[in-house]
């Protein structure tokens, strides 16, 4: 007998269904569906049926299915107007060609270099802060992460020459994100997007040409993409270089900035745990000491805090696929044409997976508790399966570096006490949060850091 389609969550309005509530407060809507019906239920966004699946086994199925059955490309089609056919926005055969190329950009020796660049950039920012003051940690870290991305991906020379203009143009691309409207409507935001893309092409064209002529002169992401060959043995063409660069920056910068800011905010809200972090920094990587890979892996308490933020404040709070062939989840059948989604903010808080799931408790990731190890798919802030985030280690390392360097040089105090989650079309982030800072007296002069980086 054919299984039924998933039961619908309460509160659907005529015509709109749950669309208005979904836009206003999707976590509450999804939480309600879970309470009413358990791990598989449905919503209606106008005339689009959406199945929501929650729980590690359903999450596993969602991530492990083939693109042929659950398409990742289709729900994100609106991104193509910005980035073209790149990564999972490309047809599957093209995606399979691009994926190893992108994975290679993040291999271990590259990462060691990026971690050094991260430290230089973060240190430069800390030096610019003076001895004391107040900052909005959300926007400051947003700019800092742009600086890191600019220096690692474009390289310091290019970033210095075009960095600010590049990010302004990039903002125009972001403002044109629109999953509903056809991307070619004659609207000012789409016109601005196309103008920004044209200007970026104009800026990057001579840079790419110069890089092609000097394949050994630079050590950055841009050069690595340019030096690569596709499966056909031909160099990656200019448009693809540009799209990969933009696509990776999009995937990586707001997501990382949001979780990095939350990590500091939560640590400041939890002084007992903060003391453990400070003691660890003092022992493993006190001020002025370069954080090499050996030290990095000893910063366990920071790493656990970073994981706990992935769980409690994921930058991506839902992931979508289009069902291409009828598929079963538990007792239900989800027909082709439906959307299916997983929801981190609910899936990360199941009490049978995480003890006291609402509590900030990074020690749950310590080896003796290892709550994330009881099921491979109970924590999925970076996705899972084929499309698991390629930049996960890059992002985690960056968040660890920002946290360690900031805390070891400054005493911090939260001025804003009621930070909320700001949800957008891209990544979630904290609302404006003022932090008061004072330079610690024992922090040595920073040239030592630069010198140590060459050890
Ligand atoms: C805290 C920071 C980050 C978070 C929370 C995050 C989250 C995610 C998630 C959830 C996915 C899976 C999407 C899906 O299955 O629908 C993903 C994929 C991806 N991410 Fe990230 N990401 C972060 C940082 C980065 C960085 C720094 C980069 C690169 C610079 C990056 C590059 C990618 C790429 C290329 C994919 C697609 C993988 C594929 O389909 O093969 N991400 N990310």
416 vs 114: CA distance, rounded Å: 32
Closest CA to 30 of 13, 47, 10, 49: 10
What's the 3 CA to ligand 1 centre distance in angstroms? Answer: 34
Ramachandran angles phi, psi of 360, nearest 5°:
-75, 105
Alpha helices (H) in 70-187, listed in sequence order? 80-83, 92-105, 108-127, 137-149, 156-175
β-strands 40-45, 339-342 pairing: unpaired
Question: Tokens 């995480």 — which residue?
Answer: 354
User: In this structure, which topology does domain 84-316+348-453 adopt according to CATH?
Assistant: Cytochrome p450 (1.10.630)
pLDDT digits (tens, 9 = 90+) for 304-325: 999 999 999 999 999 999 999 9
Distances (CA, A) of 62 to 55, 122, 143, 184: 11, 37, 34, 32
222 pocket-lining for ligand 1 (C-beta < 6 Å): no
- What is the arithmetic mean of pLDDT over 163-173? 86
pLDDT at residue 231 greater than cutoff 80: no
What's the 175 CA to ligand 1 centre distance in angstroms? Answer: 20
Q: Which residue CA neighbors atom 26 of ligand 1 most closely?
A: 252
pLDDT band at 442 (very low <50, low <70, confident <90, very high): low
211 vs 219: CA distance, rounded Å: 11
179 vs 240: CA distance, rounded Å: 23
450 vs 442: CA distance, rounded Å: 18
Q: Ligand 1 pocket test: pick from 386, 391, 398, 424 the residue with the most ligand atoms within 8 Å of its Cβ.
A: 391
28 vs 242: CA distance, rounded Å: 39
What do you get for the CA distance between the two ends of the chain, in Å? Answer: 68
pLDDT band at 228 (very low <50, low <70, confident <90, very high): confident
Domains in the chain: boundaries:
1-83+317-347, 84-316+348-453
114 vs 156: CA distance, rounded Å: 12
Tokens of 248: 């990776």
User: In this structure, which topology does domain 1-83+317-347 adopt according to CATH?
Assistant: 3.30.43
Mean pLDDT, rounded, of the chain: 92
């Amino acid at each position: 007998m054919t299984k039924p389609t998933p039961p619908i969550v309460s509160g659907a309005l005529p015509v709109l269904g749950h669309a208005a509530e979904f836009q206003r407060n999707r976590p509450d809507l999804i939480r309600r569906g879970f309470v009413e019906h358990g791990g598989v239920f449905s919503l209606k966004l106008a005339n689009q049926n959406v199945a929501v699946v929650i729980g590690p086994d359903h999450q596993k199925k969602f991530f492990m299915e083939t693109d042929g059955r659950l398409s990742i490309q289709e729900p994100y089609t609106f991104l193509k107007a910005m980035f073209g056919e790149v990564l999972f926005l490309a047809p599957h055969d093209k995606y399979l060609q691009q994926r190893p190329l992108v994975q290679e950009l993040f291999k271990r020796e590259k990462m060691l270099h990026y971690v050094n660049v991260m430290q230089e950039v973060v240190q430069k920012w800390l030096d610019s802060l003076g001895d004391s003051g107040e900052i909005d940690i959300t926007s400051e870290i947003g700019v800092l992460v742009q600086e890191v991305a600019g220096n690692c991906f474009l390289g310091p020379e290019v970033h210095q020459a075009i960095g600010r203009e590049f990010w302004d143009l990039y903002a125009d691309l972001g403002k044109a994100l629109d999953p509903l409207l056809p991307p070619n409507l004659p609207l000012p935001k789409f016109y601005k997007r196309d103008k920004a893309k044209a200007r970026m092409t104009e800026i990057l064209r001579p840079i790419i040409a110069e890089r092609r002529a000097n394949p050994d002169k630079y050590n950055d992401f841009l050069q690595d993409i340019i030096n690569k060959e596709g499966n056909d043995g031909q160099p990656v063409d200019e448009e693809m270089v540009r799209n990969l660069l933009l696509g990776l920056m999009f995937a990586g910068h707001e997501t990382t900035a949001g979780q990095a800011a939350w990590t500091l905010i939560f640590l400041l809200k939890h002084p007992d745990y903060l003391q453990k972090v400070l003691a660890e920094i003092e022992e493993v990587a006190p001020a002025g000491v370069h954080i090499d890979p050996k030290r990095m892996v000893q910063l366990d308490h920071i790493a656990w805090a970073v994981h706990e933020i992935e769980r409690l404040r994921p930058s991506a709070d839902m992931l979508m696929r289009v069902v291409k062939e009828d598929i079963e989840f538990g007792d239900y059948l989800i027909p082709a044409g439906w959307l299916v989604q997983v929801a981190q903010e609910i899936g990360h808080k199941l009490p049978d997976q995480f003890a006291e799931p609402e509590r900030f408790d990074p020690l749950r990731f310590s080896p003796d508790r290892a709550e994330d190890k009881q099921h491979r798919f109970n924590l999925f802030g970076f996705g899972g399966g084929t499309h698991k985030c390629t930049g996960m280690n890059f992002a985690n390392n960056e968040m660890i570096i920002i946290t360690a360097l900031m805390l070891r040089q400054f005493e911090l105090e939260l001025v804003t006490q009621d930070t909320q989650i700001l949800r957008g079309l891209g990544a979630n982030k904290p609302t404006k949060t003022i932090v008061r800072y004072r330079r610690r007296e024992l922090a040595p002069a920073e040239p030592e850091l630069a010198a140590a980086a060459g050890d």
